[in-house]
Amino acid sequence: MGRYVDKIQYWLALANGELNSFTDAYKIGALFNALDDAGYLEVFELEDEKGVIAYTISDDMLGGDSLCELFMYIRPEFRGDIRLFKKLITHLEEKAKELECSSVKIASNIKYKDEAVLRILQRWGYKVDTVSKEVA
Read off the pLDDT of residues 36-64 as tens digits, 9 standing for 90 and up.
999 999 999 999 999 999 999 998 888 88
10 Å Cβ neighbour count for 13?
13
Q: Is residue 9 part of a domain?
A: yes
Percent of the chain whose pLDDT exceeds 90: 49
User: Which whole number is the average pLDDT over 84-111?
Assistant: 88
Q: How many domains does the chain have?
A: 1
Residue 49: per-residue pLDDT? 95
Residue 50's closest CA among 95, 87, 90?
Answer: 87
Within-domain flag for 107: yes
The average pLDDT across 72-85 equals 91
Residue at 46 is within a domain: yes
Residue (of 87, 69, 86, 91) closest to 123 by Cα position: 86
Q: Residue 128 falls within a domain, yes or no?
A: no
- Look up the CATH number of the domain holding residue 56: 3.40.630.30
In a domain, 63, yes or no: yes
Q: The whole model's pTM is what? A: 0.85
The pLDDT value recorded for residue 111 is 52
- 103-105: strand order across its sheet: 42-45, 51-59, 65-74, 103-105
Expressed as residue numbers, the domain containing 78 is 5-123
Q: How many residues does the chain have?
A: 136
Residue range 116-122: average pLDDT?
82
Strands 65-74 and 51-59: antiparallel
Asked whether residue 133 is assigned to any structural domain, the reply reads no
